[in-house]
Amino acid sequence: MMRLPNMVAASFQPGGSDIATYHFNSDNGAPVCDQIMNALLSCNQGSETAYGADQYTAKLAPAYSEFFERETFVFPVGTGTAGNGLALGAITPPYGTIFCHESAHIVTTEGGAPEFYSGGGRMTLLPGEHNKVSSATLQQALQRHGIGNVHHMAASSISLTQATEAGAVYGAEELKELTAIAHKAGLKVHLDGARISNAIVHLGLTPAEMTWKAGVDILTFGTTKNGTMNAEAVITFDPEIARVLGFMHKRAGHLFSKMRYMSVQLLSYLENDLWCANALRANENAVRVASALAQCADVVLAHPVQINEVFAVLPPRLSNALREKGIHLRPWNLGGNGEGFRLVMSYSDSSEQIQRFEDACREDAAAWNVGPKDAIPSTVRLD
């Protein structure tokens, strides 16, 4: 039998070197954490009723109702794109528009899923620093758009990303201001929570304070970036929205026949506060990386470091030095002088991995006679 080459091992041998390669590309690339994998194995016994009528799916609503401190309706999906599309489709009619940031993931990277699931809805794009929508910007946009004007798309919903695509977090008061304006105008509020666990632990809020207590009607609850295999959830606190979602969930092909394997992941994610522990570890890794970069000359942090993402402009000498140590970073358009990169840390990053990054930065700082700094530098605008 012909033996296939070990492509995985080869990918970790850059240029024939025996130095392991690290990328910090995305938390999507992190492995499934042990607790989740063990839960999958434990439920892989015997036969269960299909299409969500199994014992594990039956536990989702009670578990998440306890987690969010009120009655909660949970609809598992396989991807964040499907989650955002379904959630927005449930609150946006074909003649409606979704207000959102111009750089939101639903705009730039989801292939028109919200328009598809809403049957023709559109998006009204708003500006904002660090990809956040301010209450003033939303108020002005609603005034320009006009409420009830039949010559325009109906103002139907707003989607806010927590944390944003720039790694910035909305505080509880910011959310309350935005949702109050939206509800007054008759809009429903969607939260894209791809990294919501990281945002919750950063702010020190409860899940309830982050969502329905702040005025959120429906959210996409992301778990894949924080330890699960392929389980996200559309969650609403509104029974009427849940009724609509029940039909949409099936019609869109997300009522999986073997739903127990998704549901058990969502259940295990809450057990022993796994969601919190993993998010804390990922956030802490990002602080270590950002603090290491802060010691180096000519480094600019483009956005606040509030979750597990670092957006930095590096001088070529530093990116080259990191590359020589087997650390290859993902280029990102951040403007300014130098090279822009997005670094995403995860719960699974090893101490050795972070230490190697810190060592490279420490060597660069020493070579350029940069004295020690006590804190991450303030964000600098690059536009």
Topology (CATH level 3) of domain 34-274: Aspartate Aminotransferase; domain 2 (3.40.640)
- Mean pLDDT value across the chain: 91
Annotated domain spans of the chain: 7-32+275-367, 34-274
pLDDT at 21 over 90: no
DSSP 370: P
> What is the tens place of the pLDDT at every residue in 254-273?
999 999 999 999 999 999 99
> Would the CATH topology of 7-32+275-367 be identical to that of 34-274?
no
What is the predicted pLDDT for the residue at 89?
A: 97
pLDDT of residue 201: 97
Both tokens of 154, joined, read 């109906």
Encode pLDDT of 44-94 as tens digits: 999 999 999 999 999 999 999 999 999 999 999 999 999 999 999 999 999
CA atoms of 111 and 117, how far apart (whole Å):
11
The rounded distance, in Å, linking the Cα atoms of 170 and 133 is 9
DSSP 8-state class, residue 22: B
Class of domain 7-32+275-367: alpha beta
Residue 335 pLDDT: 75
Judge contact between 65 and 219, C-beta under 8 A: no
Angle at which helices 260-270 and 274-294 cross, to 10°: 70
272 secondary structure, DSSP code: G
**So what's the pLDDT on residue 56?**
96
Cα–Cα distance list, 303 to 95, 101, 297, 342, 343 (Å): 35, 16, 18, 10, 12
